[in-house]
A and B are shown apart, each in its own frame.
Chain A
Amino acid sequence: MSATADVPALVARARAGHRGALGRLITLVERGGAPADEVAAHLPPPGRPAHVVGVTGPPGAGKSCLVGALLAALAAAGRSPAVLAVDPSSPLTGGAILGDRVRMDARAGGAYVRSMATRGQAGGLALAVPGALRVLEAAGHDPLLVETAGVGQVEVDVAGAADTTVLVLAPGWGDAIQAGKAGLLELADVIVVNKADRPGADALRRDLEVMRDLGRHTGLEARSGRRPAIVMTTATTGDGAEALQEAVDAHAAGLGDGAGRGRRRARLEVAARARGDVEARLDALLAAPAGRALVDAVAAGGLAAPEAARRLVAALVGAG
Chain B
Amino acid sequence: MNDTPIRVVLAKLGLDGHDRGLKVVARTLRDAGMEVVYLGLRQSPEGVAAVADEEDADVVGISMHNAGHLTLAPRMVAALRAAGRDTAVVIGGIVPPEDVTALEAAGVAAVLGPGASAAEVVAAVRRAAPA
Contact = CB atoms under 8 A, between A and B. Distances in A.
Interface of A: 1-2, 19-20, 22-24, 26-27, 30-33, 89-90, 93-99, 101-102, 107, 112-115, 117, 119-120, 280
A9 B85 CA distance: 16
B1 A95 contact: no
A23 B55 contact: yes
Contacts of A26: 56
A38 to B, nearest CB: 15
A280 B26 CA distance: 29
B106 to A, nearest CB: 22
Nearest to A110: B50
26 contacts: A2-B130, A19-B50, A20-B53, A27-B7, A27-B56, A31-B1, A90-B31, A90-B33, A93-B30, A93-B31, A94-B5, A95-B31, A95-B36, A96-B5, A96-B35, A97-B30, A98-B35, A98-B36, A98-B38, A99-B38, A101-B51, A102-B40, A115-B35, A117-B5, A117-B35, A280-B1
Nearest to A20: B53
Contacts of A112: 54
Interface of B: 1-5, 7, 26-27, 29-40, 47, 50-51, 53-56, 58, 83-85, 130
B4 A30 contact: yes
Given A1-B56, A33-B2, A98-B36, 18 more contacts: A1-B4, A1-B58, A2-B130, A19-B54, A20-B56, A20-B83, A23-B53, A31-B4, A93-B32, A95-B32, A95-B34, A95-B36, A97-B26, A97-B38, A101-B38, A114-B54, A115-B55, A117-B5
Nearest to B49: A20
B56 A95 contact: no
Nearest to A19: B53
User: Can you list the 5 inter-chain pairs with the closest CB atoms, starting with the nearest?
Assistant: A23-B56, A95-B30, A20-B53, A27-B56, A93-B33
Contacts, number: 89
Main secondary structure of the interface of B (DSSP, over half): mixed
B12 to A, nearest CB: 12
B36 A120 contact: no
Contacts of B38: 97-99, 101-102
B54 A90 contact: no
A121 B12 CA distance: 31
A135 to B, nearest CB: 12
B84 A20 contact: yes
A39 to B, nearest CB: 13
B39 A94 contact: no
B53 A101 contact: no
B94 to A, nearest CB: 23
Contacts of A93: 30-33
A96 B34 CA distance: 6
A2 B84 CA distance: 14
A95 to B, nearest CB: 4
A93 B55 CA distance: 21
A89 B58 CA distance: 18
B2 to A, nearest CB: 7
A280 B3 CA distance: 13
Given A1-B58, A24-B56, A95 B5 contact: yes
A178 B89 CA distance: 47
Contacts of B83: 20
Contacts of B32: 93, 95
Nearest to A32: B1
B47 A107 contact: yes
B59 to A, nearest CB: 11
B29 A95 contact: yes
Given A98-B37, A117-B35, A20 B1 contact: no
A95 B39 contact: no
A27 B58 CA distance: 11
A312 B4 CA distance: 27
A114 B55 contact: yes
Nearest to A280: B1
B5 to A, nearest CB: 6
A113 B47 CA distance: 13
Contacts of A94: 1, 3, 5, 33
Nearest to A33: B2
